[in-house]
Amino acid sequence: MVDVHSAEQRSRNMAAIRSKNTSPEIRVRSALHALGFRFRLHKKGLPGKPDIVLQKHRTAIFVHGCFWHSHECRYGAVTPATRPQFWADKRYDTILRDERKSQALRDLGWRVITVWECETKNPEALRLMLVQKMNEVEKLEPAQKRRATNDPKRIKATDATGRGHQALDEEAR
């Protein structure tokens, strides 16, 4: 096929492709933003410095590369031809570290969502997945908030509907 593009046209095309070809994390951020969620990035002071933090929902999001974090997908199943044991060990360490980070966050009453790189390739599928996960978070929210706060105003505000839970919480203490 004859290349009909001038050098200038081609470089413009490449720039357009590059700007569309954003990193998985940026794709997740844009999707959340479009859905109206507000968040912070790489918040310090939280275990594991999550990629995206939805403070209001007490939810931390990690965006994981499929290879490095050993996703059960075709990208995660790749075995490097050279030094396979070295990479296997490295990736195993990453899995353990991911588990430790998530557990530490859960222990503090945070919800943890993992988004895999392969799940960010289709914008509509990504959007639907985030809607579903955030719906689950919102369903769990009231109980988590009560556990996570000692703010008397908030406890009072939930008193009418949350008395039963509150009593249970107090028994547990």
**Site for Zn ion, rule CB under 5 A:** 66, 71, 73, 75, 116, 118
Name which of 37 and 67 has its Cβ closer to Zn ion. 67
Cα–Cα dist 145/57, whole Å? 9
Rounded to a whole number of angstroms, the minimum distance from the CB of residue 54 to Zn ion is 22
Strands 52-54 and 59-64, by their bridges, are: antiparallel
Rounded to a whole number of angstroms, the minimum distance from the CB of residue 125 to Zn ion is 12
Name which of 28 and 58 has its Cβ closer to Zn ion. 28
Q: DSSP assignment, residue 131?
A: H
Rounded to a whole number of angstroms, the minimum distance from the CB of residue 67 to Zn ion is 8
Helix residue spans in the chain (DSSP H): 7-20, 24-34, 84-107, 123-148, 152-157, 159-172
Q: Which residues contact 35 (CB under 8 A, 6 or more apart)?
A: 127, 130, 131, 134
Name which of 16 and 128 has its Cβ closer to Zn ion. 128
Handedness of CA 137, 138, 139, 145 (dihedral sign): positive
DSSP for 23-50, please give it: -HHHHHHHHHHHTT---EES-TTSTT--
Rounded to a whole number of angstroms, the minimum distance from the CB of residue 72 to Zn ion is 7
84 burial via Cβ count (<10 Å: 0-12, 13-18, 19+) = exposed
In this structure, which amino acid lies at residue 118? C
Rounded to a whole number of angstroms, the minimum distance from the CB of residue 76 to Zn ion is 5
